[in-house]
Structure 1
Amino acid sequence: MAPARTITNGLNEAACPIDLALFALLLRSDDRTKIALIREIEPVLRARLALFCYNRGHLRQLAFQVASLCEMRDLRIVGGTMGDVIAEQSREAAPFASEEGPTTRRKGVTLARTAMG
């Protein structure tokens, strides 16, 4: 994998932990392609990417997708308790819509219809 090119917008702005071309590809890929691309990223970089995306509201769904493919240990090493939070939220969010994704969506709760009488 090519070395990451990073761009920062400010003194305290964190740099994207992966190559910007790969990041752009992730943003515009379908779920199946996204899963394959995420799995190719080195585990610690994958966890860093999950945290990087989580800290940007518009990238929160991508954060959950990446985190769902991370080991809990890697998220914890990179993010501490925040890594635990992201891991838990990614499981609840069911980040991939397709059946091929790593998680499946929970069925919604249905209420029995009352008999009309």
Structure 2
Amino acid sequence: MNQAHLITLRDFEDGCPVPTEALGRLYRADAETLPHLVADIPQRTRAQLAVFLYGRTHTRELGVRVAATCEAALLMQTAGTLGEVIYAQSRDGYMQPTYGEDRRPSKGAISLAGSRKARDQHA
């Protein structure tokens, strides 16, 4: 039997580049407040934090928002190609993955029967 695991700040203690109290404030911050909170964090640590948060599914969006306050070169120096991806997403806007949940057919659905015009031409 699997039991649900509640995520707490203690889950972030391993490898988090900022103290858990600071992480908690960032996690609760709204989009307007976040840039002010991260402004006091050194740039290299901020880039490490963006990569750290991006690496966890439940904080990926927060990682992209932190990355928006970082320079591209520093993110790439910190995480290579992943840093480049995070930087691009921070500028293009983050779209949360659907993991296949949105399965509505596209408007341009293709029929296997073909079009009436094509059938009439071959008749």
TM class by smaller structure: 0.5 to 0.7
* Counterparts of 1:30 and 1:75, CA distance in 2: 23
* Counterparts of 2:94 and 2:58, CA distance in 1: 17
Q: Which consecutive segments of 4 or more residues in structure 1 shift more than 4 A?
A: none
The TM-score, its normalising length taken from structure 1, stands at 0.67
**Structure 2: unaligned runs, 5 residues or longer:** 1-11, 96-123
The TM-score, its normalising length taken from structure 2, stands at 0.63
**Structure 1: unaligned runs, 5 residues or longer:** 1-5, 9-14, 96-117
1:55-92 Cα deviation digits (max 9, x unpaired): 10110110110001101111011001111011011111
Q: Which residue of 1 aligns with 2:81?
A: 81
In the alignment, does 2:9 pair up with 1:7? no
Sequence identity percentage: 37
* Counterparts of 1:7 and 1:67, CA distance in 2: 20
**Aligned residues: CA RMSD:** 1.7
User: Which entry has the higher C-alpha Rg, 1 or 2?
Assistant: 2
By relative contact order (CA 8 Å, sep 6+), the higher-ranking structure is 1
Describe the SS at the equivalent of 1:70: coil
